[in-house]
Chain A
Amino acid sequence: MSRFFTTGSDSESESSASGDETAPKAPGGPYSKPLLLSEDEEDTKRVVRSARDKRYEELTNLIRSIRNAMKIRDVSRCLEEFELLGRAWTKAKGVVDRDGVPRFYLRILADLEDYLNELWEDKEGKKKMNKNNAKALSSLRQKLRKHNRDYEGAIAAYRQNPEQSDEDEEKSRRDSEGSASSSGAEDDAGNFLKRRDREEPRGRYKEEESESESESDEDWGDSASESDSESDEDDGKFTSLASKFLKKDEERRGAERRREEKAKKKLERKSRREEEEEEEEGGEWEKVKCGVPLVKEKPKMFAKGTEITVGLVVKKLNEILQARGKKGTDRAAQIELLQHLVAVAHEHNLGVPLELKIKFNIVASLYDYNPNLAAYMKPELWQKCLGCIEELLELLFAHPEIFVGENVLEESENLSNPEQPFRVRGCVLTLVERMDEEFTKIMQNTDPHSQEYVEHLKDEARVCAIIARLQRYLQGKGSPEELCRVYLRRVLHTYYKFDYGAARRKGQVKDGAGQVKEGAGQVKEGQGKEEEKLEDEQKVKEDAQVKENEAQVKDEEEEEEDSEALMERLCRFVYAKDRTDRIRTCAILCHIYHHALHSRWYRARDLMLMSHLQDNIQHADPPVQILYNRTMVQLGICAFRQGLIKDAHNALLDIQSSGRAKELLGQGLLLRSLQERNAEQEKVEKRRQVPFHMHVNLELLECVYLVAAMLLEIPYMAAHEFDARRRMISKQFHHQLRVGERQPLLGPPESMREHVVAASKAMKTGDWRRCHRFVVNEKMNGKVWDLFPEADQVRAMLVRKIQEESLRTYLFTYSSVYDSISMETLAAMFELDLPTVHGIISKMIINEELMASLDQPTATVMMHRTEPTATQNLALQLAEKLGNLVENNERVLDQRQGAYGGYFRDQKDGGYRKGDGYLRRGGFRQERGNY
């Protein structure tokens, strides 16, 4: 077994029994086997050794692996091993205190230092190193320096005289060999004992006791046989001589301890072992944990009856955490272990801070469960996670005196000392943010039309509640930055929800008690809002809304403010305190969105204009841009509801004209661009998608846009029918019109677009009634208009707009037919009151759109014939074009002359050629006259 050791010579069997060992199959993994399962196999390799022996073996093993790692320049492994070494060293402190610092230890320290310095100097090599290694290098260097400070003197001595120490070693080895030969006779006895030990491990303790007398001799034999076979290995040999003389002392101590323990505890062997393992360095624990046997052992994490202390639990926790992120770690088991640990901690009343600490780690491991960023949490885990965070917050609220921060160093944590303030490392905010992201991910990955989605959506209330609680917690003790972050979370969960409570209250105030019922009905009817598309989705949404309302009601109970005030308060804080641009931008956009959603158009618009986001949004990252797009769309819809058609059109133009509204709003991927992106991009894009319950209804969006475009474009088209240079206001609207014209057979309109096209055609002839019928009817109500919270208002606005614009169109189109027209007739035709008609016509006259004058006494419009007719218009255009043609033709002529007249003349002409064709023509005529 201890092939690398020539020692093991001295130290008595008692103490070695206390550290009873399985043979190291591979360095670093000596305890990997669950002890009870495969005893037969292991027992063959078991041997009894002293504590000192054991420690030294540990050290030398580690040193060996460090050297190996050094050889292959694996710095990160070096670091790992060095950390283990440090821990082993502290454990071996007792032994070392007696023995003095062993040579091999000094040597590795010195070598490692040299090695690191060499690496550190080698700039080239460092560049080539991978990131992990580079990181490890610097941290290892620091650690080593810190560590070496304690042994400065010894190392210096070693450095001065490495030769001599080697000689020492030689000598000691020779000595030990000598002694070994002398005790060769006892070999048999030693072997025998070993065998027996193997055969009866359980009864070993007793035997050990009884045989303690003879043990020293046996050990001598042991060492002899081994040092003979492996004398070429020098590490560790050096110690043999010194330790030899310490044997007696060690023996006595070990025996005492042994007896003491036995008498006191009478432990089961197994539990003893576990305890021993407890004391072993933590690095070896990772191996223990993986695999099935662990699960069996798990319930007995601590020895029965062991006094569980804070330190012990923390150690345990660290051990568990060591395995985090490593390959082959069973993450589920890890989570369970941690939970068990919490239970244990709770059971033994180890204090809230410790529980907090463990819970932090549980949540973190829950997040770690999915190695893949794209994958989302399983529902059970998610519930667990929510529960855990809620408990965490509960604890935090219950114990406000505990200081929690991510900047608390591991070393400066205070978990148990009640005199000083408790300090726990961890950041609730990060955990909650992560939770929120997970929630988004879950929603993104759930089919929005399934019951499942509704189920998940119910958690939204919990998420909101958690964020609200966290906010309250942080308001007490968080820094402004943290507060900004949590406020943003809150804002992000609030901005897209329509505040029905506030709307209802407003309705009550406005309409009095009588109309409350109706208002409520309207609210229910409009509950769908723009977020849903289909009937069943409406259900989804309604459920969600109910939930949200509940959450909101809760909030309101807590905070006594509606979402408007809440948004205002949160956003104002963010505006004032935020230093990262991103949070402020998001907050502004959400604020605008919220204003727009609640029809506070002017405030929303002013905020948008003041923020100057339109100028620099293209520099923002895609999620913020998506938010911006959502906000613009909401702004446009809001303007439409207010009857501000032009503003609505302008706001929606960018999104709609691209034809990629779906993509721009993060509500789905376009199939068209599927070939253009690879799988990686697609994943990224998928992650950007907005969860379904936050969607803006695309059909509503398009309908609003098209109707707005119709109201603008039709009168414009009528006014500029003969203008050769007229521009389209909305390309998309024209496209729809053309599609409509291309239809060979026109049936009654079916889709929303067809309705709008049909309405446009009716409007073109000034037939507002038909136009109105097409825009507002059963079908369109169901598809679009009912989705607005104040649907009736919007419909009333629409009717009026249609009447007005139809009147304008009518006047543009047919003014040439009339000599005069009575305003009363017009008012009757369009069912508008006289002042409105008067206003519209006056406006048209002032804008020089309509060549007419008003005759006050008879209330008639007198048309003036100043506009050229269609044919005249054409003739004018033709004349212009012919002028152009002639000019071009003359240029050709000039060229001819230029060719004869010389190059320079041509050049000179070139200077003033542009734009003075008439002059030149005059000149030309003169020339001809002269001719």
Chain B
Amino acid sequence: MASRKEGSGSAGGGFGAAKGKGKAAAAGDSAVKQVQIDGLVVLKIIKHYQEEGQGNEVVQGVLLGLVVDDRLEITNCFPFPQHTEDDADFDEVQYQMEMMRSLRHVNIDHLHVGWYQSTYYGSFVTRALLDSQFSYQHAIEESVVLIYDPIKTAQGSLSLKAYRLTPKLMEVCKEKDFSPEALKKANIAYENMFEEVPIVIKNSYLINVMLWELEKKSAVADRHELLSLASSNHLGKSLQLLMDRVDEMSQDIVKYNTYLRNVSKQQQQKHQYQQRRQQENIQRQSRGEPPLPEEDINKLFKPPQPPPRMESLLIAGQINTYCQNIKEFNAQNLGKLFMAQALQDYNN
């Protein structure tokens, strides 16, 4: 019972921390509070995915821009080439440096401020993303990762999100200690691993004007995809992915469970051993012999290796994202269905 309380307590603490952290970030090193993206960047990312990515393959690229106060302005980007097995000697760093140098020649912002990645049904909370974002943020304080969801975008609403690792997570990653104790001490939960930074898309006035013009010209039918009632495919896929993660989570828990059992078993043995030793010593004392020397008990019982918990944290985070996605999607869909029903009633 106690532990249960503890768990919920920690969750509550997490929430608290999340709120607190927001303040801390604002008060602290400022970092980034808002991301301002040029329309150009958005279009380039979309174009990149459309040309190179397919299915659950992921495209990545580098964001360029500059920091203004606590606002990160992303003014340009360039893609990474797709990796193939056969050109393993491709030097990414070299490629980046050269790209940036070349862009500087044409007078484009060449400050490296992060990277972008496409995602497949919102499955982006992975170890790879964590590692690379950590190295980015470690090197360039302000860097963000832009997650672009092409599937949602195809349904009519642009889905582009900017994420940063929370300072807490940065600490943990720096320590590279993912044992349960360390994570507990760091007070990290899945909710406060990433922070989402609000995004503003900014275009030049001329472009805005043109967009207005275009909107007037475009027929109503062009925007009907927003109203599409077909939902099962998307929902099904999401559920499928969610299920896979749940499975993984289960396995992880089983692993952790075994570890706990081993620990407790060992504790038991240790205890027994100590008792036996004590009794023996008492007997010896009564016989007037010197007590047995104290041995290092930890040498006798090597504690089992605790399983790293970062994976399960990530999985929990991923599950969270999926749930959010599904919730959002279903809310919209329900709305649409109610609308459709009302329309039908009205027509009848």
Binding site for B on A (CB under 8 A): 869-871, 874-875, 877-878, 881-882, 884-885, 888-889, 891-893, 895-900, 903, 906, 927-928, 931
A interface, over-half SS: helix
**What residues on B are CB-neighbors of A891 within 8 Å?**
253, 257
Could you list 28 A-B pairs, sorted by A, with CB under 8 Å?
A: A869-B232, A870-B232, A871-B232, A871-B235, A874-B235, A874-B236, A874-B240, A875-B239, A877-B239, A878-B243, A878-B246, A881-B243, A881-B247, A881-B250, A884-B250, A885-B246, A885-B250, A885-B253, A891-B257, A895-B257, A895-B264, A899-B263, A899-B264, A899-B267, A903-B268, A928-B1, A928-B4, A931-B1
Nearest opposing residue in chain B for A884, CB measure? B250
B103 beta carbon closer than 8 Å to chain A:
no
> Nearest chain B CB to A930's CB is how many angstroms away?
9
Give the Cβ gap from B123 to chain A, nearest Cβ, in Å.
16
Kindly state the separation between the CA atoms of A760 and B253 in the bound complex, as whole angstroms: 42
Contact A892 B246 (CB under 8 A): no
Flag if B253 contacts A878 (CB, 8 Å).
no
Instruction: Report whether over half of chain B's contact residues are helix, strand or loop; otherwise say mixed.
Output: helix
From A874, A896, A897, A899, B239 is in contact (CB under 8 Å) with: A874
Minimum CB–CB distance for A887 against chain B, Å: 9
Residue B261 interfacial (CB < 8 Å) = yes
Given contacts A896-B260, A906-B264, whether A888 and B246 have CB atoms under 8 Å apart is no
Nearest 5 A/B pairs, CB to CB: A895-B260, A896-B3, A874-B239, A888-B253, A881-B246
A409 and B4 CA atoms in complex are apart in Å by: 98
Instruction: Tell me if A892 and B235 are in contact (CB < 8 A).
Output: no
What residues of B have a CB within 8 angstroms of the CB of A875 in the complex? Answer: 239
Q: A533 to nearest B CB, angstroms?
A: 37
Give the chain B neighbours of A888 by CB distance below 8 A.
Answer: 250, 253-254, 257
Complex CA gap A221/B131 in Å reads 117
Q: Decide if A871 touches B260 in the complex (CB within 8 Å).
A: no
Residues of B within 8 A of A906 (CB): 261, 264
Looking at the assembled complex, report how far the CB atom of A684 sits from the nearest CB atom of chain B, in whole angstroms.
Answer: 41
What does the 1/0 interface line of B254-280 toward A look like (CB < 8 Å)?
101100110111011000000000000
The residue in chain A whose Cβ has the minimal distance to the Cβ of B268 is A903
Q: When chains A and B are docked, how far (Å) is the Cα of A870 from the Cα of B235?
A: 10
* B188 on the A face (CB < 8 A): no
Q: Is the beta-carbon distance between B240 and A892 smaller than 8 angstroms? A: no
Known: A878-B246, A891-B253, A892-B257. 14 other contacts (CB 8 A): A871-B231, A874-B236, A874-B243, A877-B243, A878-B243, A888-B257, A895-B257, A895-B261, A897-B1, A898-B264, A899-B263, A900-B2, A903-B265, A906-B261
Given contacts A871-B236, A878-B239, contact A897 B3 (CB under 8 A): yes
Residue among B2, B235, B253 making CB contact with A889, cutoff 8 Å: B253
Chain A residues with Cβ below 8 Å from B242 are: 878
Distance between B11 CB and nearest chain A CB, rounded to angstroms: 13
Instruction: Name which residue of chain B comes closest to A895, CB basis.
Output: B260
B172 at the interface (CB under 8 A from A): no
> Does chain A have a CB within 8 A of B151?
no
Is B232 in contact with A892, judged by CB distance below 8 angstroms?
no
Q: Is B197 interfacial (CB 8 A cutoff)? A: no
List residues of B (94-132) whose CB comes within 8 Å of A's CBs: none
* B24 CB, nearest partner CB in chain A, Å: 31
Taken together as a complex, chains A and B put the C-alpha atoms of A869 and B3 apart, in Å, by 40
A893 CA / B243 CA spacing, docked (Å): 23
CA gap between A870 and B240 in the complex, in Å: 11
A638 to B236, CA, bound (A): 44
**Which residue from chain A places its CB closest to the CB of B256 in the assembled complex?**
A892
B128 to chain A, nearest CB (A): 24
B249 interfacial contact with A, CB 8 Å: yes
Complex Cα spacing A186 to B171, Å: 130
Contact indicator A892/B253 (Cβ below 8 Å): yes
Alpha-carbon distance between A136 and B34 when the two chains are bound, in angstroms: 104
- Contacts of A871 on B, CB cut-off 8 Å? 231-232, 235-236, 239
CA A928 to CA B232, docked complex, whole Å: 38
Interface string of B216-260 (1 = CB under 8 A from A): 000000000000000110011001101100110110011011001
Cβ of A392 to closest chain B Cβ, rounded Å: 69
Q: Please, which residues of chain B bring their CB within 8 A of the CB of A895?
A: 257, 260-261, 264
Instruction: State A343–B231 Cα separation when bound (angstroms).
Output: 98
Q: How far is the CB of A513 from chain B (nearest CB, A)?
A: 64
